[in-house]
Structure 1
Amino acid sequence: MLGPEWLNDRVWHIGFNRLAEVNEQLVRGREDIYFGFEFDINALKKLPDYAVRYYIRTLAAHRDALRGSFNFYRALDTTLAQNVERQKAGLLTMPILAIGGAASVGEGVGETMNTVAHNVQSLVIPDCGHWVAEEAPEEMLAALTTFLAPDRDRG
């Protein structure tokens, strides 16, 4: 639970987001402070202001949007139990593209997916943090285009 400051700054939100309701009470009306920090601290390259404003505006627009963003974390116990049950059925057979930012979890995405799937293609995007689509949109689009090409070409 205790780690170096740089790590704490990047992962403290996981426990906070799982709280039953006080997190919503603390964040509601202050979404710009909370999510602004999260978007900033986990990025290697600063995200465009228009993108951050859009995400924050969306999360602040309706109380269910904020609640839903926290519910993803609140459901982790259930999700983990479901994943254990799914793994008992065997590894996934469909192709998987695992993308990680080098300044974030990097190879960890591919390593994790290799534990649950047979056909994993892994890509680590250099000079990129947690927000891969926002920090490296061209690289992300190129990876997705290449990965999906066989299906597109089959019609």
Structure 2
Amino acid sequence: MRNPLVLAGLALLLMAAATPAAVGQVKPFPPSFQTRDIATNGVTLHVRVGGTGPAVVLLHGYGETGDMWEPLAVELMRDHRVIVPDLRGLGLSGKPATGYDKKTQGQDIAGLLDTLKVDRADVVAHDIGNMVGYAFVAEHRDRVRRFVLMDAPVPGIGPWDEILKSPMLWHFHFGGPDMERLVAGRERIYLDRFWNDFSADPRRFSEADRRHYARLYALPGAMHAGFAQFAAFDQDARDNQAFLAQGKLTMPVLAIGGEKSFGPTMAVVMRAAATNVTGLVIPDAGHWLMEEQPKATIAAVRAFVDAAP
């Protein structure tokens, strides 16, 4: 199903994508955003909250933190209440030893919204955030109006087994007793592989961004938590198959892929799990959509969340 307002808005983003993307850097959220540490579900989440209006939750992925969303958050806060957590174990959130399966992290988000007294929200996600977002949405379908996923698979959904065979996803299988020791003090080298290999043009992931995130991933427990996110994928696949057995998602879903990365496969994944999916490919972009093509990505999200229910 395609809403005419969504299609009109998406046409605007294609115009934006025609212009070269500026090389950005992580900016602090505006002072009007509150920064809070909220205890829920056995973890303390570092959260930015700003704006008023219908709620929208922004879920980041691996190699970044909630800081990645600053340009989109500034745009949406004009008429939305924007909620931006760091996921369990990442950024400035707590780093417990366990709980990195995405069903548990979806429950983190549900508890966060309970604390903020938010009954219903849109969800916008990228990378690992897609997986946390799907678990939250699938378990709390009545709490989500619209769902945006960007450029990453969902364990156990659609062509998951084929996706796992890609040599580009070697890090999904990187494990063993020495993995943390191997990257200790070398976090920047490890993360550069993702920022470089998954970009259409690595120069678009700025040096300032790289330094910022490398510092956060060098915090005690952060790399352990990152590896635990991947180690949970088998459990995530089982949980997601159980969610899917309850029926496909019925709220509107926007599945965005970067032209040089997931491309149209993002929509293929979500059509296996949802009945009302709009697929979109951002031109001249790899995986890091907010860094590589921020104008086009923001325009796409804005048009989708602005569409009538």
Letter in 1 for 2:279: S
Match of 1:11 in 2: 169
- Pairing of 1:109-124 with structure 2 (within 5 A): 109-124=266-281
1:105 Cα deviation from its structure 2 partner: 1.3
Q: Which runs of 4+ in 1 moved over 6 A?
A: none
Task: Give the corresponding residue for 2:261.
Answer: 104
Match of 2:292 in 1: 135
TM-score, L = length of structure 1 = 0.85
Structure 2, unmatched stretches of 5+, are 1-165
2:235 is aligned with 1:59 = no
Q: Distance in 2 between matches of 1:110 and 1:79?
A: 20
Q: Answer 1 or 2: which has greater strand percent.
A: 2
| Aligned-pair CA distance for 1:21 | 3.9
Name the residue aligned to 2:199. 43
Q: Which residue of 2 aligns with 1:125?
A: 282
TM-score by length of 2: 0.44
Comparing 80-89 with 142-151, greater Cα deviation is found at 142-151
Question: Is 1:22 matched up with 2:178?
Answer: yes
1:76-115 superposed Cα distances (whole Å, 9 cap, x missing partner)? 0110000110111000011111111111111111100000
Q: Is the 8 A contact 1:20 1:74 kept in 2?
A: no
> For the residues of structure 2 that align with 1:94 and 1:30, how far apart are their CA atoms?
42
Aligned counterpart, 2:241:
84
Identity over aligned pairs, percent: 35
**1:68 aligned onto 2:225:** yes
Measured after TM superposition, the shift of residue 20 of structure 1 is 4.3
* 1:118 aligned counterpart, secondary structure: coil
- Residue 64 of structure 1 and its aligned partner are, at CA, apart by 2.0
Contact in 2 for aligned 1:44/1:128 (Cα 8 Å): yes
Higher relative contact order (CA 8 A, sep 6+): 2
Q: Which structure has greater helix proportion? A: 1
Other structure's SS at 1:99 match: strand
Give the conservation status (yes or no) of the 8 Å contact 2:172–2:231: no
**CA deviation profile, 1:103-137 (whole Å, cap 9, x unmatched):** 11111111000000011111111111111121111
Structure 2 CA distance for aligned equivalents of residues 83 and 145 of structure 1? 28
Structure 1: gaps of 5 or more residues: 1-6
- Give the length in aligned residue pairs: 142
